[in-house]
Amino acid sequence: MSRIAETFARVRAENRAAFVAYLCAGDPDLETSVKACRAVIENGVDVLELGVPFSDPLADGLTNQLAAQRALESGMTMAKVCELVRRIREFSQVPIIFYTYYNLVFANGVENYVRAAREAGVDGMLTLDLPPEESQEVAEACRKHGLQTVMIVAPTTPDSRIARIAAATTGFIYYVSREGVTGVRDQLAGNIPEMLGRIRKHTTLPVVVGFGISSRAQVAQVAAHADGVVVGSALVNCIKENLGSAEKIVARIGAVAADLSAGVKR
């Protein structure tokens, strides 16, 4: 059983949702990023979603755009992102998902990118701007190297397309609960239970919900229905608000992760 499947089976047996945390790899620098990843993992994270820094992150709001910019300015490369994963693997076996864009995959060579990710210790890959109709080469490389695929369903996705997306997914479905980009929101999107019901007609894989979730109360609302809850910007803000002090970043991001993860209990 893969780390992804084992994790979702475990949290299901514990009658809760998985807490999925997003952090940009290398934000604000490699050493602090290692410490921030460790802090969230030690405070309740079940699955770590690592954003691979990119100059044009189309699905990301300002918070995560600036995180990617900080990481790139600190010198992050694909090789250093893989180094970060290897260092995480020295202290944790939580599933790690690459949150990436196809330009990065293509520029490095699909086979090389997937192989490097898997050898570093990555479990799955979410390529934000790669539709299932054009994902065959990536899917074949992932299958060859044992990397699972994560695909996105949006609020506007029709049932016929949900079926196609589900067929291309081997890890879990990521339901983007809002149209637009990532970012903290005061209120949850509506109709999450209804959309999860529609998605589950087409797959038995776990379905996680993200985009706009930023408080323990919101986590709890989503966890009542979803297999996993994704929080990104609320954690990335802990870095932005404490730049210049790795100690403050670690302390704050750990405390926020602990608070948010408490919401996944049913």
Q: How far apart are CA 54 and CA 57, in angstroms?
A: 6
Task: Let me know if 186 is a catalytic residue.
Answer: no
The backbone region for 101, taken as left when phi is positive above 0, alpha when psi lies in -120 to 50, beta otherwise, is: beta
Q: Which candidate in 14, 29, 31, 49 is catalytic?
A: 49
Tokens of 175: 């339901």
Task: Let me know if 119 is a catalytic residue.
Answer: no
3-state secondary structure of 59: coil
Q: How far apart are CA 99 and CA 32, in angstroms?
A: 19
Closest CA to 5 of 118, 124, 107, 175: 124
Burial of 241 (0-12, 13-18, 19+ CB in 10 A): exposed
Q: Is the peptide bond before 28 cis (omega within 30 degrees of 0)?
A: yes
**Largest Cα–Cα separation, the chain:** 49
Q: Which candidate in 31, 42, 46, 60 is catalytic?
A: 60
Contact in structure between 68 and 27 (CB atoms under 8 Å): yes
Q: How far apart are CA 26 and CA 68, in angstroms?
A: 8
Q: Residues with catalytic annotation?
A: 49, 60
